[in-house]
Amino acid sequence: MKTRITELFGIEHPIIQGGMHYVGFAEMAAAVSNAGGLGIITGLTQPTAEKLAAEIARCRTMTDKPFGVNLTFLPGLASPDYPGYIKAIIDGGVKIVETAGNNPVKWLPILKENGIKVIHKCTSVRHSLKAESIGCDAVSVDGFECGGHPGEDDVPNFILLPRAAEELTIPFVASGGVANGKQLVAALAMGAEGVNMGTRFIATVEAPVHINVKNAIVAASELDTRLVMRPLRNTERVLNNAAVERLLAKEKELGDAITIQDILPEVAGVYPKIMTDGTMEAGAWSCGMVVGLIHDIPTCKQLIDGIMADAHAIISDRLARFAA
């Protein structure tokens, strides 16, 4: 399938694996790229720029297809070594960067000078338009149903995607809630040029996470996610567990007086415990409502081939019937 996104990134299928903390290692990115999608290494999961350079080099040994690196610009005071990470990306010959979080304007000139295509993840039309105006090549439009940080506007993709189509000139992909071919076709119908999936890719054979995480995703329903950190205006959609219930109880009790310090036990340093050790009650971890649509643990190739086969069948059979 050819779309503006497959053309922009030189990939076979319009399916991107979004950056995911402690999931987006070389194994994940290479598996998605080898299956014809766009795999993405999560930059900040690597503790230093040198480690990111090594991870990029490791990914090169696993695929000769294009892959990208996610750079998440964190809110607040935390300031990772962004210049170092960007140097590792440039020196590693990576030509695609997925930015997320704060406005990436400061880093765009150096990325563009080095021939890097930038896709910025946005949760609103106004942020998407901003990304377009500063020179991003594409945007990933992340609806309210998404795993991770859906922003504070709470607009789901059934509205957000056609709104983005009304306003944007650069291509965009539908991000959040996507797991199958029906949804890829729906996204294309609403004006997107492809999809970005997070949660769905965690429940794959190659995802380098503990089997408990994959099993938890398969076992969960669309009713099992919760929104945390809303009072801090840093809303995150996570899978419910005992730690999340504790966190929500604190939010209820402390109200607007809550600070990040109050919830550190539930959110700080949680990812290695969950993703690597499989200690599922260790804290709050990002997960989308799409868990309700995830019932198996295929390889990335089986997943992507299945999505594409279903999408083609829906377009040429079911939709063609309605056009008659």
Ligand X SMILES: Cc1cc2nc3c(=O)[nH]c(=O)nc-3n(C[C@H](O)[C@H](O)[C@H](O)COP(=O)(O)O)c2cc1C
Nearest approach in angstroms of CB 143 to ligand X is 8
Nearest approach in angstroms of CB 101 to ligand X is 7
Residue number with CB closer to ligand X (48 or 316)? 48
Nearest approach in angstroms of CB 316 to ligand X is 26
Residue number with CB closer to ligand X (199 or 235)? 199
| Position with the least CB separation from ligand X | 198
Q: How far apart are CA 221 and CA 242, in angstroms?
A: 17
Ramachandran angles phi, psi of 145, nearest 5°: -75, -10
Nearest approach in angstroms of CB 236 to ligand X is 9
Residue number with CB closer to ligand X (174 or 263)? 174
Residue number with CB closer to ligand X (21 or 95)? 21
- End-to-end, the C-alpha distance of the chain in Å comes to 23
At position 176, the amino acid (one-letter code) is G
Residue number with CB closer to ligand X (168 or 287)? 287
Residue number with CB closer to ligand X (34 or 196)? 196
Nearest approach in angstroms of CB 14 to ligand X is 15
Nearest approach in angstroms of CB 43 to ligand X is 8
Residue number with CB closer to ligand X (154 or 253)? 154
Nearest approach in angstroms of CB 285 to ligand X is 6
Q: CB 96: neighbour CB atoms within 10 A? A: 25
Task: Write a three-state SS string for the chain.
Answer: CCCHHHHHHCCCCCEEECCCCCCCCHHHHHHHHHCCCEEEEEHHHCCCHHHHHHHHHHHHHHCCCCEEEEEEECCCCCCCCHHHHHHHHHHCCCCEEEEEECCCHHHHHHHHHCCCEEEEEECCHHHHHHHHHHCCCEEEEECCCCCECCCCCCCCHHHHHHHHHHHCCCCEEEECCCCCHHHHHHHHHCCCCCEEECHHHHCCCCCCCCHHHHHHHHHCCCCCEEEECHHHCCCEEEECCHHHHHHHHHHHHHHHHCCHHHHHHHHCCHHHHHHHCCCCCCCCCECCHHHHHCCCCCCHHHHHHHHHHHHHHHHHHHHHHHHC
Residue number with CB closer to ligand X (2 or 233)? 233
Rounded (10°) angle between helices 26-34 and 49-62:
30
Nearest approach in angstroms of CB 262 to ligand X is 22
Residue number with CB closer to ligand X (72 or 317)? 72
Q: Which residues bind ligand X (CB under 6 A)?
A: 18-21, 23, 42, 70, 72, 100, 121, 142, 146-148, 175-178, 196-200, 285-288, 290
Q: CB 67: neighbour CB atoms within 10 A? A: 28
Nearest approach in angstroms of CB 287 to ligand X is 5
